[in-house]
Amino acid sequence: MTEPIFNISLAQWSLHQALFAGYIQPVDFPRITKEQFDIDAVEYVNSFFPDRKPKAEFVGELKSRCNDLGVTSLLIMCDGEGNLGDPDSAKRTQAIENHYKWIDAAVELKCHSIRVNAQSEGTPDEQKKLAADGLRRLTNHADTKNINVIVENHGGLSSNGTWLSSVIREVDLVRCGTLPDFGNFILDWETREEYDRYKGVEELMPFAKAVSAKSHDFDADGNEIHTDYKKMLSIVLDSGYRGWIGVEYEGTSVGEFEGIIRTRDLLRKLRIELEQTA
């Protein structure tokens, strides 16, 4: 049987409303992913680990459930652990070390990566040097555990594809890459200035080790109205990427479960179309 041109995973953030409200429990995420959405790979967010810590008992239970369900754990998205590009050397070092526990959790869950942010302060060039330093040092540690460190376009300078790709080049380590997100290209939340999403994804794809299919709203035909998914998927595939693409629904026009299903179905439909032209 021919391998698909990409596989579909589910980002835990797609269920953030239900999780924050306690409607579903974090430990049930793998089961819900498999049973409700017929998806067999997951991407965790550290916000949904109890007390935002990878406690051994919880991680062990997640691992056990994934094994029983045949669900693959791909990565952990890590937020709130300090700025890897902090101008203060001590704070930057602390931020780097704060991520070590998530690398260990990723190893236990058999993930391939942790997703981090590249926040810093100063001019673009100053931030580039600082972020590259933090990422390089963290990646050197992660490499000893066979884990990748991947950076998402996640607001501010990181949503500038030219800047973020230059940071990854500056780091110059195989295990330091990107997680291009179809929709996270707002450069300034006050002015709503936005970077061209197609240009941004194209710039980040040479370093991609995961991809987030961000979605918000759909038309009557099931197409995402903010992103031309066929155009975006063509950019992803033209880069040579053949890995997982994660459903990341973040809209409010339909419920989270419905939004996940619509995003999954759009990816499935376009996968068939693109496989026929590949």
pLDDT in tens, 215-254: 999 999 999 999 999 999 999 999 999 999 999 999 999 9
- Residue 32 to residue 241: CA distance in whole angstroms: 27
Assign 3-state DSSP to the chain and report helix, strand, coil percentages, each to 5: 50, 20, 30
What is the rounded CA–CA span in Å between residue 151 and residue 230? 24
Contact 215, 256 (CB under 8 A): no
pLDDT digits (tens, 9 = 90+) for 125-134: 999 999 999 9
On whether the CB atoms of residues 211 and 180 are closer than 8 A, the answer is: yes
Whether 182 and 221 have beta carbons less than 8 Å apart is answered as: no
pLDDT (tens digit, 9 = 90+) per residue, 181-209?
999 999 988 899 999 999 999 999 999 99
Domains and CATH numbers, the chain: 7-277 (3.20.20.150)
Residue type at 54 in one-letter notation: P
pTM here? Answer: 0.97
pLDDT at site 1? 61
What is the model's pLDDT at position 34? Answer: 99
DSSP output for 68-137 = HHTPEEEEEE--SS--TB-SSHHHHHHHHHHTHHHHHHHHHHT-SEEEE---B-SSHHHHHHHHHHHHHH
28 contact partners, CB below 8 Å, separation of at least 6: none
Instruction: Decide if pLDDT at 263 tops 80.
Output: yes
pLDDT at position 86 over 70: yes
Looking at this protein, which amino acid is placed at residue 10?
L
